[in-house]
Amino acid sequence: MNRPETIEGTAEKVTAAGGKGISVRCDHSKPYEVAGLAERIQAEVGVVDILVNDIWGGDPLVDWEKKLWEHPLDDTLAVIRNGVETHVITSHHLLPLVLRSDAGLVVEVGDGKADVAYRGNIAYDIVKSAVVRLAESLNAELSGTRAMAVSVTPGFLRSEAMLELAGVTEQNWREASDFGGGFFAYSETPHLLARGLAAMAADPRRARFAGTCLGSWDLMHEYEVVDLDGSSPDWGRVDARARQSTLTDGFPEVGTR
């Protein structure tokens, strides 16, 4: 992806937050590498309590201006392999370790819920729709075990890459509120979804969500978590109101606290 962030840097952040971060390079499109990862986890830890599957890597392959018949076929198929096959491979090798947990949780991370309209590119749309369905299917197969599966989606994500595109940092991101058609003003950091997931994982009644697709905003309201800057961006509300409005209506008045 040609990004400066690294898996080692992520592991360091985990350790700094009080955990123990261990970075492992693994190509999830290669079954033998994922099998090796599973073997290492089994030897060193013995169990997987929470499996968060957020594998993607398709951005450089998507040309949003081309229709399916115009889009390079190799790139189209690679997007589907990167976004769907990798998830299946990972679940195949790691679910046996999830089943060893007293309350295993599988989280499929996508982009949008099941009712999202066409996302502008065939391969991208297939992948993001499939992730929601995969969680439903996994949860059905986990029936009768102590494990469950859900899918989740962030809202307008204020990632490092998006901050760079907007020409701002996390400290002054509001200066670029007009970026992204004005919706950047309602963006969120990856921390909001992560905090919601952590709260759900610790919830003894979380089985009520089994097989469902949850937005970061759903988890935010359910568990009363806030984003890194203390705000509560409700993308579900913004998106719903935006669909009902026209371009001349302006943007929905949805505040944060």
Q: Please write the tens of the pLDDT for every residue from 192-247.
A: 999 999 999 999 999 999 999 999 999 999 999 999 999 999 999 998 877 665 44
Q: Among 110, 107, 85, which Cα is nearest to 34's?
A: 85
b vs e for 143-165, b when ≥16 Cβ sit within 10 Å of the residue's Cβ? eeeebbbbbbbbbbbbeeebbee
Q: What's residue 240's pLDDT?
A: 81
Sign of the CA dihedral running 24, 28, 29, 33: positive
Q: 136: pLDDT confidence band, cut at 50, 70 and 90? A: very high
Q: What's residue 117's pLDDT?
A: 85
Whether the pLDDT of residue 252 is over 70: the answer is no
Q: Among 62, 63, 68, 55, which Cα is nearest to 122's?
A: 68
Contact call for residues 155 and 220 (beta carbons, < 8 A): no
CA 200 to chain centre: 15
The dotted CATH code for 22-146 is 3.40.50.720
Q: What's residue 250's pLDDT?
A: 46
Domain boundaries, the chain: 22-146, 154-257
Q: What's residue 124's pLDDT?
A: 95
Q: Please write the tens of the pLDDT for every residue from 156-199.
A: 999 999 999 999 999 999 999 999 889 999 999 999 999 999 99
**Single-letter amino acid code for the residue at 218:** D
